[in-house]
Amino acid sequence: MLQAATAAETRGWAASQEKNRWYIDELAKHGIKVVPPGQVLTTGLKRVGEQLTAEWLRRTGDDGWAVIEGYKQK
């Protein structure tokens, strides 16, 4: 079971990367340049993520904290 899951994960990441390249190529064909986000956007998204996580943790309590800690350890 774990081997099948690992193989599926590998295929999924490869498909995602291929699709991402395709999208960027298509955008470039139409004159759209894809660039990394600026500092203001990055900071704003991080702040919103922290707020949403804090609200979710207030609702989920210890179970939520266990999920977040498990995620951070990966």
> What is the reported pLDDT for 74?
74
3-state SS, the chain, equals: CHHHHHHHHHHHHHHHHHHHHHHHHHHHHCCCCCCCCCHHHHHHHHHHHHHHHHHHHHHHHHHHHHHHHHHHCC
> What is the reported pLDDT for 24?
96
Phi, psi of 33 (to 5 degrees): -100, 130
pTM: 0.58
pLDDT in tens, 3-31: 999 999 999 999 999 999 999 999 999 99
For Cα atoms 74, 5, 65, give the angle at the middle one, nearest 5 degrees.
35
Task: Determine contact, residues 64/57, Cβ cutoff 8 Å.
Answer: yes
pLDDT in tens, 29-46: 999 999 999 999 999 999
What share of the chain in percent tops pLDDT 90? 92
What share of the chain in percent tops pLDDT 70? 100
